[in-house]
Structure 1
């Protein structure tokens, strides 16, 4: 099973990097598989650590794929990294091994600590729609326009029926990115594809 999370890492100088990423958990380890080139990959290789953040704030997912990567962070407890300040839970990780691949290496991360940071208040269809929309936006240059338009139309139903202010804001960011892409595909593609979900 792949869980949609937000992975936080830091540069060797301590600058935070925030990236949405689907992660797998297997035998007590987390598997991170960033597409190269990747700041997440570079930071983990340099520092040997990362934090997986479990959040229902869909704005972080939408924000990161639309160029809004500045989110409040606080220091992690057991690894020299940061976590999102507003997250439900987080897992602090150390690099155990690397399985190299030219396109998508696997970083096997040992979980050294797992914390609950806030109560889980329930599922919301609009949050899921925003995450799907963020995945779609990260792949705009790879998909035909008809597919994008059909997916947006379907996901818009959940937004219209169940979104709160955070999800509405996140969805607007995504729709702005889609519209920008259709208006200027070459420029927009360079901006959107730093790290895919």
Structure 2
């Protein structure tokens, strides 16, 4: 199973980075209470890769705020943060749950690299608010947008109407803003896609 999270890390120089990251976790690990082992697959060249390789510490931030995923993935956003308890990187101030971890194994011999970590501190700050299909649509659109340079154009254009409809019908203002930011990013790359207007109807950029 891969859980979508925001991972905060820090460089040797103290520069903090936030980035979306898929957390690999097995059903067996989820059944254990509490989870102690986490796994990430990292591609060379990313700031997260360089930071975790250099400092060996990070924070897994769980949030259902899709706007944060879009801003950190496509616009190098840095959300409000607070100091951590056991590691140097800070956590997201508004994360519902955070897991601070240290790297126990980093294997760059494979691509993507294999990272295994040990959770040093965990904190639950909020509860589950419920599923929103628009949130999933925004995440899928954002993931596609991060791969615009090598992804076949049809992988972005073809599902876009489906994602748009889900955001129109089931999303709130936060989801619409996030989806439109993905659209603006793509338009800036020369990929024309419609967005959601303020009243929830389809509009053009």
Cα distance per residue 1:20-67 (max 9 Å; x no partner): 011112553111212111211211122221001110000111112221
**Could you tell me which of 43, 49, 61 is aligned with 2:51?**
43
Distance across 2 between alignment mates of 1:160 and 1:13: 43
Distance across 2 between alignment mates of 1:10 and 1:73: 13
**Could you tell me which of 25, 30, 38 is aligned with 1:30?**
38
Query: In 1, are the aligned partners of 2:141 and 2:156 still within 8 Å (CA)?
Result: no
Query: Greater relative contact order (Cα 8 A, min sep 6): structure 1 or 2?
Result: 1
Residue equivalent to 1:165: 173
Distance across 2 between alignment mates of 1:68 and 1:98: 25
Give the root-mean-square deviation of aligned CA atoms: 1.6
| Within-5 A mapping of 1:171-186 | 171-182=179-190
SS at match of 2:121: strand
**Could you tell me which of 148, 168, 174 is aligned with 1:140?**
148
Question: Which consecutive residues of structure 2, in runs of 5 or more, have no partner in the other structure?
Answer: 30-35, 193-205
Q: Which has the larger radius of gyration?
A: 2
Query: In 2, are the aligned partners of 1:36 and 1:102 still within 8 Å (CA)?
Result: no
Misfit runs of 4+, over 3 Å: none
1:183 is displaced (CA, Å) by 5.5
| Within-5 A mapping of 1:47-62 | 47-62=55-70
SS at match of 1:33: strand
SS at match of 1:182: coil
1:114 lines up with 2:122 in the alignment: yes
Quickly say closer, same or farther: Cα 1:41–1:68, change in 2 above 3 A: closer
Structure with more of its chain in helix, by fraction: 1
1:96 lines up with 2:104 in the alignment: yes
Query: In 1, are the aligned partners of 2:44 and 2:50 still within 8 Å (CA)?
Result: no
Paired positions, count? 184
Distance across 1 between alignment mates of 2:160 and 2:137: 9
SS at match of 1:12: coil
SS at match of 2:6: strand
Residue equivalent to 2:16: 16
Quickly say closer, same or farther: Cα 1:42–1:147, change in 2 above 3 A: closer
Query: In 2, are the aligned partners of 1:95 and 1:109 still within 8 Å (CA)?
Result: yes
